[in-house]
Chains A and B, each alone.
Chain A
Amino acid sequence: MTHPVVLAVGAAAATQSIAFWALAIGSVAAALGIVLARKAVHCAVLLALVMLTLAIMYAMQGAPFLAFVQVIVYTGAVLMLFLFVVMIVGVTSADSVIETIKGQRLAAGVAGIALLVLLSLIVGQAVIGPAAPGGPNFGSANVGAIATLIFTRYVFPFEVTSALLITAALGAMVLAHRERTSPKPSQRDLSIRRMASERPAPLPGPGTYARHNAVDMPALLPDGTAARLSVSAVMGVRVESGTAIAGPGEPASVAAPAQDENPPAGAAADTGDEEERW
C-alpha cells in the first residue's frame, strides 16, 4: 500500500503538470494571437493574457514576489500605458495586409524557424536537470530573501535603477510635451470660426432607437435616412437596419446615402486616405 504522503506528492506533481500544460498552451496561443491579430487593442488584451499566465508560472516556480510584481507592473502599469497609447494613436491603427517589402513575411517566418531551431539546439545541448530542492527561499521566505539579495549583493544595480527611472520619467515628459507653435484659440476666435463655417449649429447627437441605444446609432433625418454627422467618425456608421456597421475600409457613402450635403471635410479625406492602410 502506498504511503499517503507519497500519494499527496504524486497528486501535487500531476496538478502542477496539468497547470503547466494548460498555461503553456494558453500562453503560446495568445502569443500567436498577438502576431496575427490585426487590431492593436486585441493585441494588447492578448498580451495581458500572456503576462497573467506567466505570473501564474512564476508563482508555480517558487517566485511569489515576482508573480505579484508581474501582475502589478506589467498587467497593471505597462498594459495600461499601452492601452492609453492605442487610444491616443487611434483604434484605427490596424496593420495593413499588404506587404511593403516583397517576401518580408516569408523571410520573417524562415528567420523565426531558424531562430527556433538554433535556440532549441542550444537548450537541447545544455543539461537541464531536475530543480534543486527549493527550501523556504522559494516559499514563505521569498520576499525577505530577495530583499536581502537586492540590498547586499545587488545594491549598486539597484541604485543605478533609480537613476534609470528618473531619466525615463524625464525623457517621457520631454518627448510627450508639445510645444505650441500658434497661440491658443480664445473663445472669441472659436466662435468667429464657427460662425464663418458652414454649420454654426452644434452637430446632431446620436440617435437612440428601441432596439439599440449605442452611440454608434446615427440619428435619422426627416426623410428617414441616417445623418452621418451624428456619429463620431471613429465608429463606422450603422445603416438603419441596425445590423451592418460600415467597415472603415468601405466608403462611408454605402452606409450614409448621398443625403448628407456637407460631410465633415476631415472624414471624407480620411476614408480615402485610410483605405489602403486598413
Chain B
Amino acid sequence: MVSPAHYVALAVVLFVIGAIGVLVRRNAIVIFMCVELMLNAVNLAFVAFARLHGNLDGQVIAFFVMVVAASEVVVGLAILTSIFRTRKSASVDDANLLKY
C-alpha cells in the first residue's frame, strides 16, 4: 500500500535533484527549469499532506504555489530574454557586471 510517506520521500528526492541542478548548471534557462522542478516537488508534498490529514488546505496551497510559479516564470523568462538581448548569452557566468 502506498502511504503519503512514499510521496513525501519522492518529493524530497525530486527537490534535492532540482537543488543540485540549480547549483551545477550554468545555462540560466536550465537553472529556471530546475527551480520549477523544486516547486513541483514541494507541491507533491503539499498534496500528500492534504491526503494525510484528510482536508483540502494542502491542495489549495499547492494551487497558490502554481499561480506564483507561473507568474515567476513569466517575469524570469522576460528578464532572461532581455539579458540575452544585451549580452548575447544565456550563461549565468556572462551576467557578471555587478560582480565587483
Beyond A69-B63, A73-B66, A82-B29, is A61–B47 a contact (Cβ under 8 Å)?
Answer: yes
Q: Tell me, in angstroms, the Cα distance from A164 to B73 when the chains sit together.
A: 13
Over the window 38-71 of chain B, the binary record of Cβ atoms lying under 8 Å from chain A Cβ atoms (1 yes, 0 no) is 0010011001101111111101101110111111
CB distance A128 to B52 under 8 Å? yes
Q: Tell me, in angstroms, the Cα distance from A266 to B33 when the chains sit together.
A: 30
CB distance A35 to B3 under 8 Å? no
CB distance A171 to B14 under 8 Å? no
CB distance A137 to B34 under 8 Å? no
Residues of B within 8 Å of A208, CB to CB, are none
Interface residues of B in 7-35 (CB under 8 A from A): 7-10, 12-21, 23-27, 29-30, 32-34
Which chain B residue has the least Cβ–Cβ distance from A23?
B10
Q: Tell me, in angstroms, the Cα distance from A176 to B66 when the chains sit together.
A: 23
Tell me if A197 counts as interface (CB < 8 A to partner B): no
Tell me if A66 counts as interface (CB < 8 A to partner B): yes
Contact of A13 among B1, B84, B91 (CB under 8 A): B1
Main secondary structure, interface of A, reads: helix
Q: How far is the CB of B22 from chain A (nearest CB, A)?
A: 9
Residues of A within 8 Å of B8, CB to CB, are 123, 128
CB distance B60 to A34 under 8 Å? no
CB distance B1 to A17 under 8 Å? yes
Beyond A77-B70, A172-B74, is A108–B82 a contact (Cβ under 8 Å)?
Answer: no
Beyond A47-B36, A119-B12, A150-B60, is A34–B1 a contact (Cβ under 8 Å)?
Answer: no
Residues of B within 8 Å of A74, CB to CB, are 36, 40, 66
Residues of A within 8 Å of B12, CB to CB, are 116, 119-120, 123
CB distance A28 to B71 under 8 Å? no
Beyond A47-B33, A171-B78, is A146–B67 a contact (Cβ under 8 Å)?
Answer: no
Interface size class of B (residues with CB under 8 A): 35 or more
Residues of A within 8 Å of B56, CB to CB, are 137, 142, 145-146, 149
Interface size class of A (residues with CB under 8 A): 35 or more
CB distance A40 to B16 under 8 Å? no
Q: Which of A83-91, A227-235, A253-261 contacts B (4 or more CB under 8 A)?
A: A83-91
Over the window 12-26 of chain A, the binary record of Cβ atoms lying under 8 Å from chain B Cβ atoms (1 yes, 0 no) is 010011001000100
Beyond A129-B52, A131-B52, is A43–B30 a contact (Cβ under 8 Å)?
Answer: yes
Most chain A CB atoms below 10 A, which of B4, B63, B85: B63
Q: How far is the CB of A69 from chain B (nearest CB, A)?
A: 6
Residues of B within 8 Å of A168, CB to CB, are 70-72, 74-75
CB distance A44 to B19 under 8 Å? no
Q: How far is the CB of A211 from chain B (nearest CB, A)?
A: 35
CB distance A112 to B20 under 8 Å? yes
Q: Tell me, in angstroms, the Cα distance from A153 to B27 when the chains sit together.
A: 41
Q: Tell me, in angstroms, the Cα distance from A59 to B31 when the chains sit together.
A: 28
CB distance A47 to B37 under 8 Å? yes
Q: Tell me, in angstroms, the Cα distance from A227 to B3 when the chains sit together.
A: 62
Identify 12 residue pairs between A and B in the complex whose beta-carbon atoms are under 8 Å apart, listed by A's number: A28-B13, A51-B40, A54-B40, A61-B4, A82-B77, A89-B29, A89-B84, A90-B90, A95-B30, A128-B8, A130-B4, A175-B82
Residues of B at under 8 Å CB distance from A? 1-10, 12-21, 23-27, 29-30, 32-34, 36-37, 40, 43-44, 47-48, 50-57, 59-60, 62-64, 66-75, 77-82, 84-85, 89-91, 93
